[in-house]
Structure 1
């Protein structure tokens, strides 16, 4: 699922290709889940956007918005498999050479935008799983974060660096007794950290994901704060292009889980094991991430086969309201695949409660350069 870094990437492309332009044509497909569960409709979105000028774009964690020259504004999140495509621009954060990804308009689109100017810019919001949300927020653009659902979510560690400090983090950790990985994934605490980023942060901080948050010592909190800012800022600066991630990141070596005749390990031989924390599969390096206090449960650090052989759990997607969205509808994060693999998904016509998890159409992550 797109996390803080991936969402930051699309905000970058919105600013590059859409900000400052007027929407001369807006087309929508009404979807009573993607729009309806966010309190609006496709036709309402079309009326609100048509003829407006895009003034700016912004982000808080996994949410992003397109601010118009007058209210209301479009506030969105991608769910597990949503994305914003801009025609003739490489907005994807993974490599895709599939002919279907070159089609326009793309499959499973929820809205299409066309701008003024020469050449015209075209954009499309797509989501074959219907777990994304598109809503309208009627307020001054500079106050959008004061409104639901953003106001209920925690600070963004990149946008709100002055808020996410060591002192703030210490207070947050000591006020709760939950596994530290679960705390990081809870969007009400910190916005934007998802499964792979949470694992990367804990690996660099040398903290076991199951250890209770209120048992971390001062030195561990210092390391955790440093790791949060390092991982988040670095991945955002690199526009979520994992080909450019540092070679010593766990991300580079975690994707062999479940593959036949493959062992998950770092280049130095240190083993990567997988366990479930807070309902999510976590990648852990036991030789680095030691347990220094009580944990939610013990695991056998040498036994990754059971976790690797465990089938994916099916999740019932949650009704969305104005309460904080914690993105619990995500499964295990999508793994990079070889470009050109067949997409086997179909857009669901069932209600959100009946949507069954499918394999996300992802491939190897790609360069951020736009095509010329």
Structure 2
């Protein structure tokens, strides 16, 4: 699933092609793609609206439209967004198409059909339960310490909880915990303030690194809107490296299941 750096990369890439454009048509061949409202109402409300701005909230792409409407897309496991010229033959997995006033189209390709599209007047209807943005000013190490010690939860699953922090997924949780030298099974309330300061820095560092590298393309599920690959996968220190030597202590990187997710860590230097 695309995580914060991938979704941020997509968001930034779409702005030049969409801001100021008007939606002149919309087609859908998989009704469950449209989560809210039903497709006839969705189509009636969205045609003739234009894109005012595009932002990201957690793993959601938020399109601020005219008429006080907000289009929200969650890519889920395999969703991809791209811009194509009208009339081009779309891949069979393109299920929702927005026709644009400049003769192009916004394609939502979704092989596994888990992605969702929302059209709302109040974005909090979809986004209201999300935790703070880890790259925002509100996300301080002091806040993180208070939140961690007030809970008695396993550390990595807590970092993946989108109501706790918005946008961190499996890849960047593994990488952040490695950078912070913290074992993914530590209890959240066992961390000291100095350890939380290091974790806070590590979370920001790996997310910013992911954005700078255009996200991670570890399989065909993530490509940037222009079809090119991200490069963050070339900078992973533990994720996907089970059985290899740790780059820090020469121990062996292990993989285990934790909270139903594959988790990569080093026994030697993550405590």
Q: TM-score, normalised to structure 2's length?
A: 0.87
Which of 100, 105, 112 does residue 115 from structure 1 map onto? 100
- Structure 2 spans left out of the alignment, 5+ residues: 218-229
The change in CA–CA distance for 1:184 and 1:267 in structure 2 (over 3 A counts) is closer
Which of 252, 256, 271 does residue 252 from structure 2 map onto? 271
Distance 1:16 1:206 in 2: 40
Q: What corresponds to 1:34 in structure 2?
A: 33
CA displacement at 1:105 relative to structure 2:
1.5
Distance 2:182 2:43 in 1: 47
1:48 pairs with 2:23? no
Which of 195, 211, 221 does residue 236 from structure 1 map onto? 211
Q: What corresponds to 2:71 in structure 1?
A: 74
- Per-residue displacement from partner, 1:303-342 (whole Å, max 9, x unpaired)? xxxxxxxxxxxxxxxxxxxxxxxxxxxxxxxxxxxxxxxx
What do you get for the CA RMSD once the two structures are aligned? 2.1
Segments of 4+ moved more than 4 angstroms: 241-244
CA displacement at 1:241 relative to structure 2:
5.1
Q: TM-score, normalised to structure 1's length?
A: 0.64
Distance 1:17 1:241 in 2: 22
1:1-372 correspondence runs (5 A) = 1-31=1-31, 33-35=32-34, 38-87=35-84, 104-117=89-102, 120-139=103-122, 144=123, 147-158=124-135, 161-240=136-215, 244-245=231-232, 249-250=236-237, 254-255=239-240, 257=242, 263-266=243-246, 269-290=250-271
Tell whether the 8 Å contact from 1:18 to 1:121 is kept in structure 2 after alignment.
no
Distance 1:171 1:199 in 2: 22
Tell whether the 8 Å contact from 1:180 to 1:213 is kept in structure 2 after alignment.
yes
More strand by share: 2
Pairs aligned (count): 256
Tell whether the 8 Å contact from 1:66 to 1:75 is kept in structure 2 after alignment.
yes
- Per-residue displacement from partner, 1:62-108 (whole Å, max 9, x unpaired)? 111111111322112111111212227xxxxxxxxxxxxxx732222
Distance 1:195 1:3 in 2: 8
- Structure 1 spans left out of the alignment, 5+ residues: 89-102, 258-262, 291-372
Tell whether the 8 Å contact from 2:73 to 2:118 is kept in structure 1 after alignment.
yes
